[in-house]
Amino acid sequence: MESFEKKFNGKLEEVFIYITSKCNLRCPHCYMGDAGNVNMDKNNFKKLLNKLIKLGASKITFLGGEPTLHPFLTEFIEIAKQMGVSYVRLDTNGEFDSKLLNDAAFKKLSDICFSLDGVDAKTHAKIRSVKNYNSIIKNIKKAVTLGYKVRVTMTANSYNFRQIEKVVVKLDKMGVSSLNVHLISANGRAKDNGTLLVKEEDWMDYYNNVLPRLRKYKIKVKIPKRFIKKDESQDYGITCESAKASRLLVTADFKIFACPLLLNTGRNFAFFENGEFHYIKDYRKHSFEYSDIQGPACPILMKDNFIKFANKDIIPLCVSCKQRNYQNNVLIEN
Ligand SMILES: C[S@@+](CC[C@H](N)C(=O)[O-])C[C@H]1O[C@@H](n2cnc3c(N)ncnc32)[C@H](O)[C@@H]1O
Ligand code: SF4
Ligand code: SF4
């Protein structure tokens, strides 16, 4: 069996570190499920980062839960920069004291990425709250004024997905540099809140309509295609990030996951302990090789999805992978 280090050495680029499982919101779509009570330990964080950098990681994103609740967040940013990580990003729900934006370590962030889920307070509050809408708009404006590179993630759900272009217009005016749209996936709490899910056909229609219009704005927009017609499938190759070994996800309790869709399933394939990476016993079920990803291991291609899509003319695409067909795919950059 190939050792963990050998599998990732020289291939690893990007790591998502879920530094806390605590959260100050309770979003009904959250793929993380119910919030926990674990903050990542500082000493082990340093050891982990050191190892990840040796394997090649140069992009680190801090998230959670809500990462601004971690008492050592600013130290973590500082440590990552001191260790030479070139790109350090924070994903936040924006529910934090604006003074944090004046912190010297915070200012070393390459990007700060806020989660906004609607063009107005009412729509955003379907997921978050009116209070959070006010906090996030205030903090986005302040961050732009202070010269941060500000990004926004919008998770498209059944209430907000037709607002995407309006959100683009709003953020463009506010000086936000990019919008990254997720389409809500039926994981974690979203599984129990089915009315938030978007019908595949509705998403495909909206995507095809809005895509050409999004090119005219200054702001960069990334919007996932997520479904294709069966007869388009020869144009697309699955380039699973998990199979490429270019990305890892680490939770606050140092469990290591290959794919974001596995986070709330307990299907980690490894863990970090005593300064070393260890595979779990049946790690092959939860990590991926190219030979696996067409099969039942990939969360979007698991048996229940096969059944769901068997009688439809469409096929789901990976949630996070870049497809070979960049022209019709998603990346719109001006
Ligand atoms: C898990 S949160 C962690 C960071 C922070 N608490 C926040 O909300 O930005 C990271 C991102 O995942 C998105 N997300 C949560 N559940 C999702 C789901 N079921 N499908 C797609 N994206 C989801 C959130 O909206 C957020 O933009
Ligand atoms: S999406 Fe972010 S803010 Fe909302 S519950 Fe999940 S971790 Fe918390
Ligand atoms: S959804 Fe499937 S194809 Fe995409 S990263 Fe996860 S395992 Fe890979």
- For the segment(s) 4-230+242-291, the CATH number from 3.30.70.270, 3.20.20.70, 3.30.710.10, 3.40.50.300 is 3.20.20.70
Query: Residue 230 has what pLDDT?
Result: 84
Torsion of CA 120, 121, 124, 127, to 10 degrees: -160
Ligand 3 centroid distance, CA of 293 (Å): 7
> What's the average model confidence in pLDDT over 22-49?
97
Stated length of the chain: 334
pLDDT category, 115, cuts 50, 70, 90?
A: very high
Residue 128 burial by CB count (10 A; 0-12/13-18/19+): exposed, middle or buried?
A: buried
**pTM strictly above 0.85:** yes
Alpha-helical segments (H) within 67-163: 73-82, 121-124, 130-145
- Residue 313 in tokens: 């003319």
Q: pLDDT class for 295, splitting at 50, 70, 90?
A: low
- In b/e form, how buried is each residue of 253-282, taking b as 16+ CB within 10 angstroms? bbbbbbbbbbbbeebbbbbbeeeebebbee
- Where do the structural domains in the chain lie, given as residue ranges? 4-230+242-291
With a 6 Å cutoff on the Cβ, whether 23 touches ligand 2 is yes
pLDDT, position 329:
41
Q: Tell me the Ramachandran region of residue 275: left when phi exceeds 0, alpha when psi lies from -120 to 50, beta otherwise.
A: left
Q: How high is the mean pLDDT of the chain?
A: 91
- Kindly identify the ligand whose nearest atom is closest to the C-alpha of 319: 3
On the question of pLDDT at 304 being above 80, the answer is no
Percent of the chain with pLDDT over 70: 92
Q: 194-250: per-residue pLDDT in tens?
A: 999 999 999 999 999 998 899 889 999 999 888 888 888 766 666 678 888 999 999
Residue 108 DSSP SS3 = helix
Strand (E) or helix (H) holding 169: helix 164-174
Residues in contact with ligand 3 (CB, 6 Å cut-off): 238, 240-242, 259, 261, 288, 293, 298-300, 318-321
Please report the atom of ligand 2 found closest to the CA of residue 23. 8
Predicted pLDDT of residue 330? 43
Task: Say if CB 4 and CB 278 are below 8 A apart.
Answer: yes
pLDDT band at residue 94 using 50, 70 and 90 as cut-offs: very high
Cα(119) to ligand 3 centroid in Å equals: 30
Q: In whole angstroms, what separates CA 179 from the centre of its chain?
A: 13
Least Cα distance to 44 among 323, 214, 251, 325 occurs for 251
> What single letter denotes the amino acid at residue 274?
N
Read off the tokens for 217. Answer: 């704005």
Q: What is the distance between the alpha carbons of residues 223 and 294, in angstroms, rounded to a whole number?
A: 23
Rounded to the nearest whole angstrom, what is the distance from the C-alpha of residue 128 to the centroid of ligand 2? 8
Q: Does the beta carbon of 127 sit less than 6 angstroms from any atom of ligand 2?
A: no
Q: Output the CA 103–ligand 1 centroid distance in Å.
A: 25
Q: Is the pLDDT of residue 334 over 50?
A: no
pLDDT greater at residue 194 or residue 322: 194
Q: Helix or strand or coil: residue 199?
A: coil
Ligand 3 atom nearest 300 alpha carbon: 1
Q: Is 64 in the pocket of ligand 2 (CB under 6 A)?
A: yes
Res 1: pLDDT: 67
Residue 245 beta carbon below 6 angstroms from any ligand 2 atom:
no
